[in-house]
């Protein structure tokens, strides 16, 4: 399947690398035919073009991946791609949240897909999981840390006592921040993500301008000191809830318990929680920003489109391979059976073994014939 990538930046570049490297048979079926750039001097190879029409008018290109960012011309290109019968995959939550109704209506009319997993939560399969829950029962609510840049700033300020400006600069260097980082620190980026999450979870399209949105721009070390005194830390949280009347969305810094799931998410990581009746609370954690995590999510969207048009993959028979050697804790009334592999004696009936394969320890367990034996692997430090 031939695809085009618009923008060879942090996310577009990550996608191109993952697809060019093609580490799985499925991925080998994707090919980046064209890459749209806007500065000719930045052409990396002969796939690069500065002319969007070369992409839009190419009947071989089935999917356009929009990784330019911003509202225009990203919106114009996504719309034209759909009009030309091409699926669209995008990482651009600002554009998609702003033009959601128009673009999804167009995609529906044309029986095309808009893949937007990369728009929310970076590499976390967040949209996919909202969809999976929703096909079984209503999603009642969601809540999460959905911006890598602000979480990076907050966790570095708290853990290292670093200053706001230096943390933001570092997040920009690491490729986490938006081209205008105000969107990250003023909460707008989370707002777009909350709108797209609500659209997925609740089938309701809220105008981003309607969502109460507060950011972390004015946060100081004193605020952290207060939170710490309460056993809390500060996280920028986006949330959505289905109500009797419709939906309720908001973006706000929250003082969460320091030892809670959200309280312990640091650096560029994001975490999203969902609530639904039979599943109850569920949580999804992973890198929320950065080239390869985000590219991973966008390429997953491409593969979903590809697989929808492919036969189910055949399985190859395979034998299970012994894993790496590891040390084991063994407690047994027949502990003498383990004498030759003992690294440390714990008690009269318990030892820690030397590094062994799982098959080697399995042989000894058989030899011991002790039904009450307890075995545990010991995780490396």
Ligand X SMILES: NC(=O)C1=CN([C@@H]2O[C@H](COP(=O)(O)OP(=O)(O)OC[C@H]3O[C@@H](n4cnc5c(N)ncnc54)[C@H](OP(=O)(O)O)[C@@H]3O)[C@@H](O)[C@H]2O)C=CC1
Ligand Y SMILES: N[C@@H](CC=O)C(=O)O
Q: Please enumerate, by residue number, every residue annotated as part of a binding site for NADPH.
A: 93
Stretch that binds ligand Y, among 72-80, 145-153, 308-316, 373-381 (CB under 6 A): 145-153
Task: By CB under 6 A, tell whether 289 contacts ligand Y.
Answer: yes
Number of residues that bind ligand Y (CB under 6 A): 11
We find the least distance from the C-beta atom of residue 63 to ligand X, in angstroms, to be 16
Q: CA nearest 85: which of 50, 53, 109, 52?
A: 109
Looking at the DSSP assignment, which residues form a beta bridge with residue 5?
Answer: 35, 65
Task: For residues 202 and 196, give the distance between their C-alpha atoms in angstroms, rounded to a whole number.
Answer: 10
Considering 80, 94, 193, 235, which one is annotated as catalytic? 193
We find the least distance from the C-beta atom of residue 241 to ligand X, in angstroms, to be 24
Task: By CB under 6 A, tell whether 11 contacts ligand X.
Answer: yes
Task: For residues 126 and 269, give the distance between their C-alpha atoms in angstroms, rounded to a whole number.
Answer: 13
Q: CA nearest 47: which of 63, 34, 32?
A: 34
Q: What is the DSSP string of 36-95?
A: E-S-GGG--STTEES-HHHHHT-TTEEEEEE-S-SSTTHHHHHHHHHHTT-EEEE--HHH
In the complex with ligand Y, the residue whose CB is nearer, 301 or 353, is 301
Q: Which two tokens stand for residue 320?
A: 């299970």
Output the CA angle 312-316-322, nearest 5 degrees: 135
By beta carbon distance, the residue nearest ligand Y is 149
Residue position matching structure tokens 């030309």: 84
Binding residues: 7-12, 93, 178
In the complex with ligand Y, the residue whose CB is nearer, 62 or 291, is 291
Task: By CB under 6 A, tell whether 290 contacts ligand X.
Answer: yes
Task: By CB under 6 A, tell whether 8 contacts ligand X.
Answer: yes
**Is 193 an annotated catalytic residue?**
yes
Site for ligand X (CB under 6 A): which residue of 118, 219, 234, 305?
A: 118
In the complex with ligand Y, the residue whose CB is nearer, 158 or 189, is 189
Task: By CB under 6 A, tell whether 175 contacts ligand Y.
Answer: no
Q: HSE on the CB side for 113, CA within 13 Å? A: 17
Residues 73-92 interacting with ligand Y (rule: CB under 6 A): none
**Residue 144 interacts with which of ligand X, ligand Y, none, CB < 5 to 8 Å by class:** none
**Residue 127 interacts with which of ligand X, ligand Y, none, CB < 5 to 8 Å by class:** none
Site for ligand Y (CB under 6 A): which residue of 122, 240, 263, 272?
A: 122
Tell me the backbone φ, ψ of residue 221, rounded to 5 degrees: -65, -30
Task: By CB under 6 A, tell whether 123 contacts ligand X.
Answer: no
We find the least distance from the C-beta atom of residue 210 to ligand Y, in angstroms, to be 21
List strand residue ranges (DSSP E) for 174-259, in order. Answer: 232-242, 247-257
Tell me the backbone φ, ψ of residue 73, rounded to 5 degrees: -90, 15
- Contact map string, positions 61 to 80, toward ligand X, x by CB under 6 A: ------xxx---x-------
Task: By CB under 6 A, tell whether 39 contacts ligand X.
Answer: yes
We find the least distance from the C-beta atom of residue 214 to ligand X, in angstroms, to be 20
Q: CA nearest 66: which of 9, 5, 120?
A: 5
CA distance to 192, 208, 239, 335, per residue, from 213 (Å): 10, 9, 11, 62
We find the least distance from the C-beta atom of residue 360 to ligand X, in angstroms, to be 44
In the complex with ligand Y, the residue whose CB is nearer, 186 or 189, is 189
CB 47 within 8 A of CB 34: yes
Sign of CA dihedral 255, 261, 263, 269: negative
- Which letter does DSSP use for residue 117 in this model? G
Q: Which residues bind ligand X (CB under 6 A)?
A: 6-12, 36-39, 42, 67-69, 73, 91-92, 118, 122, 175-176, 178-179, 289-290, 294
The residues binding ligand Y (CB under 6 A) are 122, 147-149, 176-178, 184, 189, 288-289
Residues tagged active-site: 193
């Amino acid at each position: 399947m031939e695809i085009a990538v618009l923008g060879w930046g942090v996310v577009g570049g990550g996608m191109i690398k993952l697809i060019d490297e093609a580490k799985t048979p499925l991925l080998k079926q994707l090919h980046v035919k064209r890459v749209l750039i806007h500065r000719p001097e930045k052409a990396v190879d002969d796939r690069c073009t500065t002319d969007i029409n070369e992409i839009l008018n190419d009947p071989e290109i089935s999917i356009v991946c929009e990784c330019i960012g911003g509202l225009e011309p990203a919106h114009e290109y996504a719309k034209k791609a759909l009009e030309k019968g091409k699926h669209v995959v995008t990482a651009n939550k600002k554009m998609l949240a702003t033009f959601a109704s128009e673009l999804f209506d167009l995609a529906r009319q044309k029986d095309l897909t808009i893949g937007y997993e990369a728009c929310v939560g970076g590499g976390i399969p967040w949209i996919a999981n909202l969809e999976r829950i929703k096909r079984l029962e209503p999603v009642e609510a969601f809540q999460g840390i959905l911006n890598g840049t602000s979480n990076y700033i907050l966790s570095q300020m708290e853990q290292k006592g670093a200053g706001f400006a230096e943390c933001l600069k570092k997040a920009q260097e690491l490729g986490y921040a938006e081209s205008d980082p105000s969107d990250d620190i003023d909460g707008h980026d989370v707002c777009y993500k909350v709108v797209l999450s609500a659209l997925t979870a609740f089938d309701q399209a809220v105008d981003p301008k309607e969502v109460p949105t507060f950011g972390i721009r004015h946060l100081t070390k004193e605020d952290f000191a207060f939170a710490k005194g309460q056993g809390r830390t500060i996280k920028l949280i986006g949330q959505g809830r289905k109500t009797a009347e419709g939906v309720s969305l908001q973006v706000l810094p929250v003082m969460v318990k320091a030892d809670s799931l959200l309280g312990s998410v640091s650096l560029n990581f994001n975490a999203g929680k969902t609530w639904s009746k039979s599943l109850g609370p569920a949580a999804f954690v992973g890198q929320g920003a950065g080239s390869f995590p985000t590219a991973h999510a966008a390429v997953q969207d491409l593969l979903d489109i590809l697989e929808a048009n492919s036969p189910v993959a055949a399985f190859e028979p395979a034998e299970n391979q012994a894993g790496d050697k590891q040390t084991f804790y063994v407690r047994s009334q027949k502990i003498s059976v383990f004498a030759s592999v003992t690294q440390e004696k714990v008690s009269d009936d318990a030892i820690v073994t030397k590094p062994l394969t799982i098959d080697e320890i399995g042989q000894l367990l058989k030899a011991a014939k002790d039904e009450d034996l307890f075995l545990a692997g010991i995780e490396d430090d």
